[in-house]
Amino acid sequence: MRLTRLVSVLFWFLCIHIPTFFCANVEYDHRALVIDGKRRVLISGSIHYPRSTPEMWPDLIQKSKDGGLDVIETYVFWNLHEPVRGQYDFDGRKDLVKFVKTVAAAGLYVHLRIGPYVCAEWNYGGFPLWLHFIPGIKFRTDNEPFKAEMKRFTAKIVDMIKQEKLYASQGGPVILSQIENEYGNIDSAYGSAGKSYIKWAASMATSLDTGVPWVMCQQADAPEPIINTCNGFYCDQFTPNSNTKPKMWTENWSGWFLSFGGAVPYRPVEDLAFAVARFFQRGGTFQNYYMYHGGTNFDRTSGGPFISTSYDYDAPIDEYGLIRQPKWGHLKEVHKAIKLCEEALIATDPTITSLGPNLEAAVYKTGSVCAAFLANVGTTSDATVNFSGNSYHLPAWSVSILPDCKNVVLNTAKINSASAISSFTTESSKEDIGSLEASSTGWSWISELVGISKANSFSRTGLLEQINTTADKSDYLWYSISLDYKGDAGSQTVLHIESLGHALHAFINGKLAGSQAGNSGKSKFTVDIPVTLVAGKNTIDLLSLTVGLQNYGAFFDTWGAGITGPVTLKGSTNGSTLDLSSQTWTYQVGLKGEDLGLSSGSSGQWNSESSFPKNQALTWYKTNFAAPSGSNPVAIDFTGMGKGEAWVNGQSIGRYWPTYVSPNSGCTDSCNYRGPYSSSKCRKNCGKPSQTLYHVPRSWLKPSGNTLVLFEESGGDPTQISFVTKQTESLCAHVSDSHPPPVDMWNSNTESGSKVGPVLSLSCPHHNQVISSIKFASYGTPLGTCGNFYHGRCSSNKALSIVQKACIGSSSCSVGVSIDTFGDPCRGVAKSLAVEATCA
Ligand code: GAL
């Protein structure tokens, strides 16, 4: 380890001083990226540095490397780094250089997608809000104010990377950069100015002279020398716009993002592996998982509207940094299988032939190397194909990989990797809570005043658009008005509000009268709230809120938010409608508690008398807690709360909204992976809150004396929230006698040696664990899924004891799936081995 460090430092030194010898030269040709004269097959994965913590980075990157990645891709987030024009911030989670160096230290490459428009389900697509206020500016099209700012920021990042000698051309890890992002999806809306903008962006980027290639994704007209790349669930049909460019896939969506109010998307690994193999089958040489680790939208960084705080993405590494099985493990096998074909893949284009309807062979053959991919793209029927004189069984929607054009090393639909069931357990963290002596609940609180409470409020005629008014300094904008009601006391009327979104709480005479929110598909809403007016003066205070600013679409920066009206009082006693829209309203940007810095917990007059307010809108709550014991990842379960934001030791863990429930229908627990995937195809958790658990990074916690502050908008009971930790409960594997052996056992000289058969392997997630029990083992025709396996009609009575003997007490074990191990419980029947185990 030390020695490698030393060697890399030496290389670094030599590269700076004798660049021609010690720096990587990155070029490309028709087949691939070419690093130091050698074409490369590269497997890449996205990890966005601010979606985890610097303490998590080394582990995430190591797990990526162990999973078979060569490259880590990240966007660069302009609004994080330049919150105020000209004032840069690269601290903590924003330490881009540290992240890039951490990737380099693990020996991986970096693809830096500077954008600076990034989409990414990130607030405002990554643009800082001040950009919007530059006179005459139009985002992402041909105009001087925008181009000047885009160039300045892009050059700033490039310079920073250059100064740190992080480009491959300087001996660093950065082999690739991206400019813009999927502009080709929406450029028609910008007309000819869009076309000239892209030409400008290409030459601006090229002029920055990074020494490594630039890409544009989803940009069919990307000018030379920029490589146009593909994003999508499948990219096997993609071809770049010139024969001199390689076929590259910058976003293979490993799952999909979650929205507040939506069900949880997932993508079966059989389909993801199929998509990857299809891409390499049809000539691809660079593939990136978007996301490999999704992470968390801390703070108010989530885009939207309505992007949830979790950005788990069903990625191979989960939100908490734990590997997700069998996804991570199966893809690792896929990567190894593809690497076994690398020499053939980089040597030539594939020759593609049909083996029948929906059946396709691709052969990469030149000289002594040969690799083949056999695909069944049919969605229902398995097939047996004849290829080069041999017969191969191809399950529907699968690809078999043959690194020697003869023997199958892997089939994308046959999973050797174990799966894991993980669970969240509630941890006591109450030790400290009692220390808030005056309060029996352990909580103290401050009420945020309804309506205008700050000195910098102001009045205007008519209803203001929200983003222009708040500049996104806060989610919150108060719209307040008083009216003199001449009717009878207690008379019923209806308050009618039309809003561009994203959500609203309406208060009448200081009391919450109703709330409404849009959804991720439609942020606009109309709401009719029955209200009771008193005779004389009445106040209407409308708290309008944004839930992450729009991040995608043509002109997304101009879509707006807030109560743009009409706002009326309908059907009061005399039947008339009073339109309040053009009256004088008083506005307040943000909350008093935000200005007071209550989120840190240290300031403010916190109350802790016995009259503890539960289910009271607009309440700040504070408590102390001890970190849950152990080292498993920590989350807060917000069940019992309404909507708001939470801070741990002053750091925002994001918006919480456990009361926003997903629709009742549209989910399936076991999604059929066969057939084209789409973002709505496989969802779970219907009819349940979109997100109840919110990640608290371990590194933000002290053993005890931690402060948790919540701002609750609509009302909740903080005594119900709990701390949980995530751990693996069981490991399961199910391997049939027709599965190929593990890729590591691949040996192309199978004729000479005895043929190895399939193997079932289990491995505990932590190094210090051993397999402590075998909950289930059956060899024969076992049925069911992990956690619910049961014996089929045929089962060997020795299976349990054989597996116990092989596994118990070891951190990992392997058992051959064959009659040699278990004897034959039923002749002539296709058999498999299913095992469920626990680690301790
Ligand atoms: C793409 C975009 C990414 C991300 C993704 C969906 O269109 O380039 O930034 O938004 O969609 O997760």
393-452 residue pLDDT tens:
999 999 999 999 999 999 999 999 999 999 999 976 554 443 444 467 799 999 999 999
- What pLDDT was estimated at residue 603? 86
Q: Contact at 8 Å (CB) between 397 and 270?
A: yes
What six digits make up the tokens of 348? Answer: 């030539």
Cite the beta strand spans of 657-699 per DSSP E. Answer: 683-684, 693-696
How far is residue 558's CA from residue 546's CA, in Å, rounded to a whole number? 14
Ligand 1 neighbourhood includes 119 CB (under 6 angstroms) = yes
pLDDT at 30 over 80: yes
pLDDT at 1 over 60: no
pLDDT at 127 over 50: yes
Provide DSSP, 185-238: GTGGGGHHHHHHHHHHHHHHHHHT--SS-EEEET-TTPPTTPEEEEEES--TT-
- 110-126 average pLDDT score: 98
Spatial strand order in the sheet of 26-28: 26-28, 33-35, 38-40
State the pLDDT confidence band at 753, using cuts at 50, 70 and 90: very low
The dihedral of CA 661, 545, 527, 306: what is its sign?
negative
pLDDT at 240 over 60: yes
Q: Percent of the chain, pLDDT > 90?
A: 90
- What pLDDT was estimated at residue 436? 41
Ligand 1 neighbourhood includes 254 CB (under 6 angstroms) = no
Q: Is the peptide bond before 116 cis (omega within 30 degrees of 0)?
A: yes
Q: Percent of the chain, pLDDT > 70?
A: 94
More confident call, 432 vs 153: 153
250-308 residue pLDDT tens:
999 999 999 999 999 999 999 999 999 999 999 999 999 999 999 999 999 999 899 99
Active site residues: 182, 251
Residue 145 CB neighbour total at 10 angstroms:
14
Position of tokens 């701002």? 711
- 222-249 average pLDDT score: 98
Ligand 1 neighbourhood includes 469 CB (under 6 angstroms) = no
Ligand 1 neighbourhood includes 73 CB (under 6 angstroms) = no
- What pLDDT was estimated at residue 446? 96
State the pLDDT confidence band at 8, using cuts at 50, 70 and 90: low
Probe target for ligand 1 pocket from 258, 290, 312, with the most ligand atoms within 8 Å of CB? 290
Q: Residue 491 burial (CB < 10 Å; 0-12/13-18/19+)?
A: middle
Give residue 259 CA to ligand 1 midpoint distance, Å: 14
Query: Lowest mean pLDDT: which of 404-413, 493-502, 567-576, 767-776?
Result: 567-576
Q: Is the peptide bond before 305 cis (omega within 30 degrees of 0)?
A: yes
More confident call, 404 vs 576: 404
- What pLDDT was estimated at residue 435? 41
pLDDT at 748 over 70: no
Q: Contact at 8 Å (CB) between 225 and 209?
A: no
State the pLDDT confidence band at 624, using cuts at 50, 70 and 90: very high
- What pLDDT was estimated at residue 746? 87
Q: Pairing state of beta strands 619-625 and 444-447?
A: antiparallel
State the chain's mean pLDDT as an integer. 94
Probe target for ligand 1 pocket from 73, 118, 249, 251, with the most ligand atoms within 8 Å of CB? 251
Probe target for ligand 1 pocket from 121, 216, 229, with the most ligand atoms within 8 Å of CB? 121
- What pLDDT was estimated at residue 387? 98
Q: Write down the pTM of the prediction.
A: 0.95
User: Terminal CA-to-CA distance of the chain, rounded, Å?
Assistant: 30
- 703-728 average pLDDT score: 96
Q: Contact at 8 Å (CB) between 143 and 192?
A: no
Q: Is the peptide bond before 111 cis (omega within 30 degrees of 0)?
A: no
Ligand 1 neighbourhood includes 288 CB (under 6 angstroms) = no
633-660 residue pLDDT tens:
999 999 999 999 999 999 999 999 999 9
Query: Lowest mean pLDDT: which of 27-36, 176-185, 575-584?
Result: 575-584
- What pLDDT was estimated at residue 604? 80
- 515-523 average pLDDT score: 96
173-187 residue pLDDT tens:
999 999 999 999 999
Give residue 341 CA to ligand 1 midpoint distance, Å: 30
Ligand 1 neighbourhood includes 121 CB (under 6 angstroms) = yes
- What pLDDT was estimated at residue 18? 57
Provide DSSP, 394-450: E-TTEEEEETTSSS--EETT---SPEEEEEEEEE---TTGGGSTT-SSS-EEEEPPS
Q: Contact at 8 Å (CB) between 197 and 190?
A: yes
DSSP state of 464: P
